[in-house]
Amino acid sequence: MTPPSPKSSFPWKRLLAVVITVAALGIIFWKIDVAELAGVFRRMKLGWFLAAEGIFGLMLLAGAWRWHLMLRLTNAAVHPGATTRLYAIGHALSFFLLTPAVGDLAKAGLYSRWFRQPLPNVVASAPLARFLGLGGMFIFILLAFALAAAKGALGTATAFGARLPLPLLLAGMAGGLVGLVLIFRWRPRSEHLLARTFNSFAIAARQLILTPRLAAYGLLLGFVVQAISCTLMALCLRAVVSVDCPWFELLWTFPVIAAMVAVPSFGGLGVREAAALGILALYHIPAADAVAGSLLTLATNVTWVVIGAAILAREERRFDQARAQENVWTLLKTISVIIPTLNEEAELPATLRRLQAIPEISEIIVVDARSTDRTCALATAARCRVLTTEPGRGHQLRHGAAHATGDIILMVHADTWLAPDAGRAILDSLHDATVVGGGCWKIFRDAPLLLRGSRLKCALRLYLGRRVMADQAIFVRRSVLTATGGIPAVPLMEEFELCRQLRPAGRLALADTVVSTSARRFRQLGVLRTYARMARVTLLYYLGRSPAELRRLYEAPPSKSR
């Protein structure tokens, strides 16, 4: 490739950003007294500002999940944790590169390089997520104007010029129609990167349009992001404002101010403050208060930019280390399933049927603890490999893993059902070379009301406790399992011991699939009593009680429970 000419490499956009930022700051400091602004900051209420810092993180989480849904559509998703980290990094990149579009491209490049996903598929996901964000913002603005009208403030809004010109509206509708025709009718045949990116985008967009439930979910997330963004600005203003604010009437001003920040500038510096200075004055908010609130909004942004930059530096180090280890950088292909059983003739057949429908599974090993029913005969008839060992899930799983040949060891309970996409999702999650194992999202079948919310518990358990439960279909790289000593041969709490053993080797992740497990134990003992027993056993485990004693407590019949 020839080097770019001096003309093409001149940083016009950065120069424009400097000019706009300096001009906007000049307007601000011409209209306000610096000493008055300093006084506003001295009386700032810190609690409101800290609340704004916190909800900025929630906004990033909602935006990351929206992007993850679009990565699924373009067949480029790895696992939600990876998407969240890259989304935070993308926020920092957008700040430094001056525009979200360039930040999206840089973020997509990192995602593709780190997780070995096709670049066109990753790039195509970003505009889909942005379109859903724009749709959510449009819905929010309509709601904000409706509330302003209900409060009698719509005249103020329209006086500012918020009414959309008819020619612009018609041009937008025409552009949307042309876009739909291209999405449904046109497919370039070229192998060029841009052609492949458009094809990936068009296929995913068509699927999104034809899946109203998914589209509505994405729009809801876009709405949530916009609502949090406006709440953040309101909290920052609340931290410094010295007059009573008509908050419902003000609601329409926040998305308008946020939209103006899209003008090229350094993190919106100057532009946001100038917009706030002009718009909030309509509601008699002092100029110094408006500027101070906007500067606090910028401060929350910069805080998370710093966090995103720190994540980027850490992840680069992690992936450099992973590339040096062939056993974790190599893409895996086959899965060995280990099922510990003891008198499971009622549950096992349905579980096996679902496992055999997953093409990535190369073998199923049933490790039986001397069942007295037809468990072994059913497993043999289903062409599974059947082994026998002493009772205790840890012993059974360790024995099965020692005989497994797949690249991945997947531990499944006899009453846990996997979806057809589970194999692909597990392999995709291990495209992240920093991940050594993990589990799946979980729901209970025919669950009572008190068992709802299992997926939220899975997320909290992993991201706060760094562990997964045995009935979440735990998976681990076989090479890492061997290097770390194998599955702990304990009669109970083997998943706790295994997760503790794997943490020094790398991350645990939640694969992008949902398993369903039986609620039979909860029905036998009762939901509250079962949770109480589990909590007691977990506490005693952390206090150092032996696994054998914990097993006796956990498996005690209901009549012996206290």
Per-domain boundaries in the chain? 12-323, 328-518, 527-562
CA distance 553 to 362: 37
Q: Write down the number of H helices and E strands in the chain.
A: 26, 8
Sign of the CA dihedral running 200, 206, 207, 212: positive
Q: Name the nearest CA neighbour of 113 among 342, 319, 350, 295.
A: 319
Confidence of residue 267 (pLDDT cuts 50, 70, 90): low
- Is the predicted pLDDT of residue 425 greater than 90, yes or no? yes
The pLDDT of residue 185 is 63
CB hemisphere CA count around 269 (13 angstroms): 14
The pLDDT of residue 439 is 96
Does residue 61 contact residue 84 with C-beta atoms inside 8 Å? yes
Q: Cα angle at 57 between 435 and 241, to 5 degrees?
A: 170
The pLDDT of residue 323 is 84
Q: Which tokens is 238 given?
A: 């609340």
The pLDDT of residue 1 is 39
Does residue 49 contact residue 298 with C-beta atoms inside 8 Å? no
Q: What is the 3-state secondary structure (H, E, C) of 65-119?
A: HHHHHHHHHCCCCCCHHHHHHHHHHHHHHHHHHCCHHHHHHHHHHHHHHHHCCCH
> Average pLDDT for residues 45-70, to the nearest whole number?
95
Q: Does domain 328-518 have CATH number 3.90.550.10?
A: yes
- Is the predicted pLDDT of residue 186 greater than 50, yes or no? yes
Q: Name the nearest CA neighbour of 476 among 337, 341, 380.
A: 337
Does residue 67 contact residue 88 with C-beta atoms inside 8 Å? no
Q: For residues 276 and 298, which has the higher predicted lDDT (pLDDT)? A: 298
Q: What is the C-alpha end-to-end distance of the chain, expressed in Å?
A: 76
The pLDDT of residue 111 is 96
Least confidently predicted of 94-108, 203-217, 416-430, 492-506: 94-108
**CA 465 to chain CA mean position, Å:** 17
CA distance 250 to 162: 13
Share of the chain above pLDDT 70, in %: 88
Confidence of residue 561 (pLDDT cuts 50, 70, 90): very low
